[in-house]
Structure 1
Amino acid sequence: MRFLSGGNQQKLIFAREVECDPDLLIVMQPCKGLDVGAIEAVQGVVREQRQAGKAVLYISTELEEVMAISDRIGVMCAGHLTGVLNRADATADLIGSLMTSTASQEVLS
């Protein structure tokens, strides 16, 4: 594995974790540094896991990725949860406000 590129190492680790068939899949920046085809493949696998009833915690600084993948979006600012939005209610402006703590949003259950 040490002879693979960073992107290929990342894809291999991701595949290994999914192959273990976890009930909870936690991914952080899973698409960082990957090419467009690999990004689509990773996001497709994440969606498959979600559709199979698995819990997925998708952590990313890429707002477009988060909005494309998530059912609910938790936003943090300065180490504190500032809001949890249903995807249908989430806009880039509202998320941005929560990220800078300029909006007050109740955490939804």
Structure 2
Amino acid sequence: MAQTAPTAQTAPAAAAAGTTLGACGPGRLCLWPKPDFKGRPWTYELATTDLDSCVALPAGASAQSLAVRTGRPVTAYQSAECAETGEFETYPGRGTWVPQTPYEVRAFKLWER
């Protein structure tokens, strides 16, 4: 049976589909350790996160759902070093919720634009 890749959802589409969105404040990137925004999230803000730099989650940690509310695109990486040899995906900012990432996210980059 072929699997299809999960798609990012905007707030209105997710609400219409009956998905409960994870709480993530404006201007933040939030990553949850489990699908469907479950578990205690890691949150990052533009004011305290370097743009265009690889930011690894805490050692041994990974995320399986995320919300991008930064207004900037975010690339999520399977590799803790942001290596492009593993899986990676770039998500648009300003209200993107992903209830199930296609791989475990171990690092990310916030982009200037």
TM-score, with length taken from structure 1: 0.27
TM-score, with length taken from structure 2: 0.27
Relative contact order: is structure 1 or structure 2 higher (C-alpha 8 Å, sep ≥ 6)? Answer: 2
Q: Which has the higher strand share?
A: 2
Q: Which has the higher helix share?
A: 1
Q: Specify the structure having the higher radius of gyration (Cα).
A: 1
